[in-house]
Chain A
């Protein structure tokens, strides 16, 4: 196991360097000059333009800028935002918990609904229920997220008044963040009703962010289950006289979970990408919205370091997912 982990970590290093090159290159390939954008219609003199370019270090050869950037990262300096003038790392860690909280709630919701839906569809293959579930999943998978989020807000917050429109917690509650996770912080604050408020603010954004993963998980579970249900050992289990619930829940499900978990692991990237739209609709102060704002402002340091940090998160999560296979299926233990 240990040698497997070390090998995987060893593989991460070249990937990581590759990502620094892509992230650095990507922002510079984008047309648009951060200094010109900052000045806007007002414009600025050539002299001042050159001064600012120099101040930000963009007058130097591109390879030199890259190595400075790489050197900075290795020593833990991810640069400063051109806009807020704050260190990128500080901003990332201030916003990251909000994205993680939302993504976790979304993935829990997607798993809690998607896997049972997939099992039901598989065990009643071809039935009306199966077709309804798979049809709904197809619609969910093709849902335009921005429209879907607004629709939910208008119906559930506007017409019915059941859920808050946006934000992370009612403005009535005010406490300093401790962990950055609103559900935990609201409990720690001891303020009455704070937790309920934080939880109610999570409902709509979680549903919206979970929509696509839910559809994928349901479809993946169905097809994996169908495959497993045709196996000999399932027939044996049935023949032994085990209850259908035990056959499906223990014998089939455990084996069907491997591809589903792989998909869930890959979903982390999708969730972070989906967070961009969901966070924008629900004014959710996370990294998705932060990246969008930074790209439109050509905030080079934030975009290049932000991409790198997000990529690092995805890589680490995928590594963790690979390690969990062994826990679920002893046949793939990494000895």
Chain B
């Protein structure tokens, strides 16, 4: 009997060992990708599943930072006038071999040109290769106005010619929409009349390649054996799509997945207390704010805005609305971003001084509207609650607040009006890690009536950010720091919070690095047996 047990146990152990050879990392992702062509979409969920696993770009963000480093381009140079960017491509980079494609050549300039041409040239056969194709991010980053032409210098050299100098351009090329596709694969699909497969059966040069996707259920990848930086330590990567955050957490605890994104803030402490789980945390690349309408009296007076800012109890907001998963904001850019000015003093919370200041400015007993967003965002998990806290804070200095809200699309649209009545709660999540992407987009004069919800056009500030569009990073950082001073003095917004992002994982996951841009990338991750 004992002998028999031993044999069975030995057999079972041998079985386990043989199945344990393939290392599989399971990631409980929060939603389904919209598709696998990252240039067609704007959501992080789609990028995690496509650009961050399957594809590479000319340049990339160094993992864990917003610094731009080489990827498929070995090196690049910028002309003195800032109008020409020349990229030298890495040689010997292979596109992935999949069930329906075997590359016959290495990655070259044709692939790079194809990847951008399809987004900017209406004549390109891939410009509208799926019903309703629109190149959202390419347009949002003003690339159609910015890029004059893309030229093939030789097989391994590509030159981008711009219409104007724009230093953030290089950071834009590290974004997901700038993923490099195989022209050879696209041509083959077009020949067979299967163009839409480019969005369903991706072929890239990244660390993982797609094996199968079952809609709303599971995405399977395997390590790309030909990856130019070497094959990954894990053999298989699986995204188990689990939309509810409590259920994701249960799956992580039960060992059904190794890593999960976006835990419920209220559960973070219990996860931290669990001996099997490690919780990584980092400030998100975002900012939540209350934007006054600086074109309407009395909010055209900086003193009034400043007084209101001093009445907001940010600590209470962080405790109640963010449940600890947030950090008070004093600048319009988040602390993980280069040029962040940590020397700036935040407005003190002082209702008495605020009340006196408001009366001095002739706005005592003010009545105003505060707009509360109807949706949850990383930079504001509960805008309604936040608005109520602000309402209480303002009541203490004699300001009566009426809270208003609209359906999300409507909210975004109506809040753009320059004659808008009331201050708007909103926020922003960075796209490319460049301060220009916050300061120019949200506070520049060009954006008044658009994404500049404070309708604030300050000449001094605007000159600084315009100048900062060119030059070295050091020169630019100095200008942005000055701009942050002007911002603080003029107070077009009450800066409220930056979220803190948590990624809980099982202890045996090694080498995971948090991405300040909010992505989830599994390059370099291993599982300890």
Contacts and interface: CB of A to CB of B under 8 A. Distances in A.
B253 interface: yes
B216 A43 contact: no
Interface string A141-177: 0000000001001100110010011111001001011
Given A95-B216, A157-B250, A158-B254, A41 B412 contact: yes
Given A36-B409, A44-B139, A289 B131 contact: no
B240 A171 contact: yes
B216 A37 contact: no
A161 B217 contact: no
Nearest to A94: B215
Contact of A84 (B24, B34, B140): B34
A158 B250 CA distance: 6
28 contacts: A31-B409, A32-B410, A34-B409, A36-B409, A36-B410, A37-B409, A43-B412, A43-B450, A43-B451, A44-B140, A48-B139, A55-B134, A80-B130, A85-B132, A94-B215, A98-B217, A150-B247, A153-B246, A158-B254, A165-B254, A166-B250, A167-B217, A174-B212, A177-B214, A280-B244, A281-B247, A283-B216, A283-B241
Interface in A36-67: 36-45, 48, 52, 55-56
A192 to B, nearest CB: 11
A164 B243 CA distance: 16
B132 A55 contact: yes
A167 B299 CA distance: 52
A90 B391 CA distance: 49
Nearest to A83: B34
Contact of A171 (B26, B199, B253, B412): B26
A320 to B, nearest CB: 28
Contacts of B214: 177, 285
Contact of A298 (B130, B238, B409, B427): B409
A252 interface: no
B136 A38 contact: yes
A293 to B, nearest CB: 8
Contacts of A84: 34-35
Contacts of A285: 214-217, 241
Contacts of B251: 165-166
Contacts of A85: 34-35, 40, 130-133, 196, 199
Interface string B24-48: 1010000110110000101000000
A91 to B, nearest CB: 7
Contact of A80 (B131, B220, B243, B253): B131
B82 to A, nearest CB: 25
Interface of B: 24, 26, 31-32, 34-35, 40, 42, 130-134, 136, 139-140, 196, 199, 212, 214-218, 220, 238, 240-244, 246-247, 250-251, 253-254, 256, 377, 406-410, 412-413, 416, 426-429, 450-451
A231 B61 CA distance: 80
A280 B254 CA distance: 19
Interface of A: 31-34, 36-45, 48, 52, 55-56, 80, 82-86, 91, 94-95, 98, 150, 153-154, 157-158, 161, 164-168, 171, 174, 176-177, 280-283, 285-286, 289-290, 293, 298
Given A285-B215, A285-B241, 10 more contacts: A39-B140, A40-B42, A84-B35, A85-B130, A91-B215, A150-B247, A157-B250, A167-B242, A281-B247, A283-B216
B216 A282 contact: no
A84 B33 CA distance: 8
Given A85-B35, A166-B251, A167-B240, A56 B132 contact: yes
A218 B236 CA distance: 48
A31 B410 contact: yes
A294 B136 CA distance: 19
Nearest to B239: A171
Contacts of B131: 80, 85
Contacts, number: 137
B247 A52 contact: no
A82 B26 CA distance: 29
A50 B374 CA distance: 25
Contacts of B212: 174, 176
Contacts of A52: 134
Contacts of A36: 409-410, 412-413
B46 to A, nearest CB: 10
Contacts of A37: 408-409
B242 to A, nearest CB: 4
A154 B247 CA distance: 9
A165 B132 contact: no
A34 B216 CA distance: 21
Contacts of A48: 139
Contacts of A283: 216-217, 240-244, 247
A31 B405 CA distance: 13
A153 B250 contact: yes
B377 to A, nearest CB: 8
B248 to A, nearest CB: 9
Contacts of B220: 174
A83 B199 CA distance: 12
Nearest to A42: B140
Nearest to B431: A42
A281 B246 CA distance: 9
B253 A158 contact: yes
A171 B407 contact: no
Nearest to B137: A42
Contacts of A41: 377, 412, 426-429, 451
A173 B256 CA distance: 13
Contacts of B250: 153-154, 157-158, 165-166
